[in-house]
């Protein structure tokens, strides 16, 4: 068996380790443009959780300096969504500054400013869209105030009586049956106006 001299061993180790971001044995494509191979949420997804983050998966490692809010954007119509962009491996993640609005169509875009490790740019902007789910309102409405106030005294006998609700109500559900005024236990005749 032939032993390597120390100088040759160092040279061999240098070749195995590689230089810079390159891993020896892993070919670096110097001419083919990188591509977006998947997104989460995917194109045309519906019922996406408004608390989601947006991930973009690339076909190869990208230059981290080229992945930013300038090259990865999320919009609601023409309005940019505020957030931050993180990158690691082959995945870029857009993290919204606040939960997305429910029931809205959002558009993601990765521009040709995104480049791989040798400077190849995406061939074209990659654009996709998804819709957030409509949240179910599980909080029952409440009467937030009344005129006259509860327990008021010396109220004029011809005063209008009103109630303000904590949220919009279905008009057909507010009627003389659901909104009543009693004198003792006897209903007072009147009309409910929306």
Tens-place pLDDT, residues 37-86: 999 999 999 999 999 999 999 999 999 999 999 999 999 999 999 999 99
Identify whether the C-beta of residue 50 lies closer than 8 Å to the C-beta of residue 102: yes
Out of 1-5, 129-133, 182-186, which region has the weakest mean confidence (pLDDT)? Answer: 1-5
**Which part of the chain has CATH 2.60.40.1220?**
33-132
Give the number of other CB atoms < 10 A from CB of residue 68.
15
- pLDDT of 9 over the 70 cut: no
Is the pLDDT at 137 greater than 80? The verdict is no
In three-state form (DSSP H/G/I as H, E/B as E, the rest C), the secondary structure along 57-107 is EECCCECHHHCCCCCEEEEECCEECCEEEEEECCEEEEEECCCCCCCCEEE
| Nearest partner of 107 among 88, 89, 80, 146, judged by Cα | 80
| Cβ atoms of residues 165 and 143 within 8 Å | yes
The mean of the pLDDT values for the chain is 85
Of 189 and 104, more confident: 104
Six-digit token string for 70 = 């300038």
Whole-number pLDDT of residue 2: 46
Instruction: State residue 117's pLDDT score.
Output: 94
When pLDDT is cut at 50, 70 and 90, the band that residue 140 belongs to is confident
Tell me how long the chain is: 194
Task: Give residue 184's pLDDT.
Answer: 86
Is the predicted pLDDT of residue 18 greater than 50, yes or no?
no
| Residue 154 pLDDT > 50 | yes
pLDDT category at 28 given cuts 50, 70, 90 is: low
pLDDT classification of 101: cutoffs 50, 70, 90: very high
Break the chain down into helix, strand, coil percent, rounded to 5: 10, 30, 60
Task: Report pLDDT for 191.
Answer: 85
Q: Of all residues in the chain, what percent carry a pLDDT higher than 70? A: 85
**Token pair of 157, please?**
């006998």
**Is residue 23 over pLDDT 70?**
no
Architecture, CATH, for domain 33-132: Sandwich (2.60)
Give the three-state DSSP class for 17: helix
The answer to whether the beta carbons of residues 91 and 57 sit under 8 Å apart is yes
């Amino acid at each position: 068996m032939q032993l390597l001299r120390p100088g040759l061993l160092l040279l061999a180790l240098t070749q195995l380790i590689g230089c810079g971001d390159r891993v020896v044995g892993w070919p670096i494509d110097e001419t083919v443009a990188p591509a977006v191979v998947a997104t989460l949420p995917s194109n045309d997804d519906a019922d996406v959780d408004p608390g989601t983050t947006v991930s973009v998966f690339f076909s190869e490692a990208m230059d981290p300096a080229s992945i930013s809010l300038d090259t990865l954007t999320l919009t609601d119509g023409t309005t940019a969504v505020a957030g931050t962009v993180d990158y690691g491996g082959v995945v870029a993640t857009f993290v919204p500054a606040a939960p997305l609005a429910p029931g809205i169509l959002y558009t993601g875009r990765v521009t040709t400013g995104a480049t791989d490790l040798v400077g190849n740019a995406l061939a074209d902007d990659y654009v996709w869209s998804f819709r957030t789910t409509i949240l179910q309102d599980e909080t029952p409405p409440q009467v937030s105030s009344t005129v006259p106030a509860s327990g008021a005294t010396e109220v004029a006998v011809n005063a209008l009586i009103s109630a303000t609700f904590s949220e919009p109500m279905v008009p057909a559900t507010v009627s003389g049956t659901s909104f009543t005024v009693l004198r003792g236990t006897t209903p007072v005749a009147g009309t409910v106006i929306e």
